[in-house]
Amino acid sequence: MSHTTHPPLFSAAFKTDPYPTYAHFRDTQPVRRETLPDGRPLWLVTRYDDVIAAFKDPRLVKNPASAMPPEALSQLPRGREAFRVLSHHMLSSDPPDHTRLRRLVSRAFTPRYVEQMRPRVQAIADDLIDRMAEGNQGDLIEQLAFPLPITVISDMLGVPHEDRERFRTWSNIIVSVNPFEPQTFQSTADDLVAFTQYFRDLIAEKRARPTDDLTSELIHATDEGDALNEDELLSMMFLLLVAGHETTVNLIGNGTLALLTHPDQLAHLRADPTLIESAVEELLRYDGPVETSTMRWAAEDVQLGGATIPRGEAVLVVIASADRDPERFKRPEDLDITRAMNRHVAFGHGIHYCLGAPLARLEGQVAIGTLLQRFPDLRLDVRPEELQWRPGMLIRGLWHLPVRW
């Protein structure tokens, strides 16, 4: 078999179009061992069936302390210590802790929140698009994709809207961590300290003067026996803020780009706006907002996809690759907003399935649907190859999306 080279994983060149590389990995070595700059191994899982298996395998744990001895744990990048206080959330824990944390958060993050936010989401989208309509060109990320979800999550958490740019800075740094560039771990430390202090202050304020918001409800949950402690509260705020807007920013940005570069599908959706739900599911699959899962660790030797992952080694589940697997999706490289049986894994699978998926879907449907309704001549203002993709392994999203209407 011939050797095929690829850009450095998660580099700028790679992020421009990772899909050919992922296709090569699926065809040649679907569970693939890479080596990090510090010599540590990292396994990539790229086929759909293997990704589902990895998501469901209890031997692939989120807490590295469950998978390696203390001496090995101490060799992880020093910057990871900055994440310690913010790592007590559902996404970084395993049962039984995960079960307890998700149950407590679910009590506050109820379906009524999503329904109650529906009119508010539409009103925010209408207001943002009204402002866009004052001109005839702009940046869709700056003017809609970012401000919509950050305003929604700010409302839900009860934090001042004027702080949303600070959240954007913190979030950009956090999700840009790249294991192939170890310096990105250390560079997050100061920002995580600032983030932590901000939410310590907010939690103290909400304890003293609770209001009708998710932060106050999470604090209230600590008063009923099986409680969230202070670090868990901070971690949940961290997860809800970052996950609560990053997914939707990139869903709106990537989704709009996909439609604008597939005029037949754009025309189909314009002709039948009732397809918006199906369209959003296909946009999530085709070029979704999350490229990989967060890290997992083998708690014992694990057989997966014809490979043996040794105990203690790190595993990255590549969502973007699974959702382009031709063994699962017919013509996966095609965008088809009427695709049936679209069982993508854009929001994960199993016990760590994204709790906020219904809200992200709602925001994506409202934003993209309203945008297309209001701007019948919406089009790109640059060539697609000129667009710049954000760094990091976790998310797939654009820095900017210049458009005209």
pLDDT of residue 184: 60
- Residue 4 covered by a domain: no
CA-closest candidate to residue 366, choices 90, 121, 36: 121
Segments of the chain with pLDDT less than 50:
1-2, 78-79, 81, 223
pLDDT of residue 223: 45
pLDDT of residue 300: 96
- Residue 1 covered by a domain: no
Structure tokens at 149: 């979800």
pLDDT of residue 74: 64
- Residue 6 covered by a domain: no
**CA dist., res. 298 & res. 301, Å (int):** 7
Number of structural domains (the chain) is: 1
**pLDDT tens across 207-219, in order?**
999 998 889 988 8
- Residue 80 covered by a domain: yes
- Residue 348 covered by a domain: yes
Type and span of the H or E element at 403: strand 402-404
**CA dist., res. 167 & res. 300, Å (int):** 38
All residues at 6 or more sequence positions from 30 whose CB lies less than 8 Å from its CB, including other chains:
45, 46, 47, 50, 305, 306
CATH number at residue 119: 1.10.630.10
pLDDT of residue 79: 47
Domain span at residue 91 reads 12-404
**CA dist., res. 57 & res. 187, Å (int):** 32
**CA dist., res. 221 & res. 217, Å (int):** 6
Q: Nearest 5 degrees, angle CA 212-CA 217-CA 221? A: 155
Whether the CB-CB separation of 304 and 52 falls below 8 Å is answered with no
pLDDT of residue 71: 67
CA-closest candidate to residue 298, choices 88, 73, 68, 16: 68
**CA dist., res. 174 & res. 14, Å (int):** 20
- Residue 204 covered by a domain: yes
- Residue 205 covered by a domain: yes
Type and span of the H or E element at 138: strand 137-139
Whether the CB-CB separation of 210 and 217 falls below 8 Å is answered with no
pLDDT of residue 183: 62
pLDDT of residue 81: 47
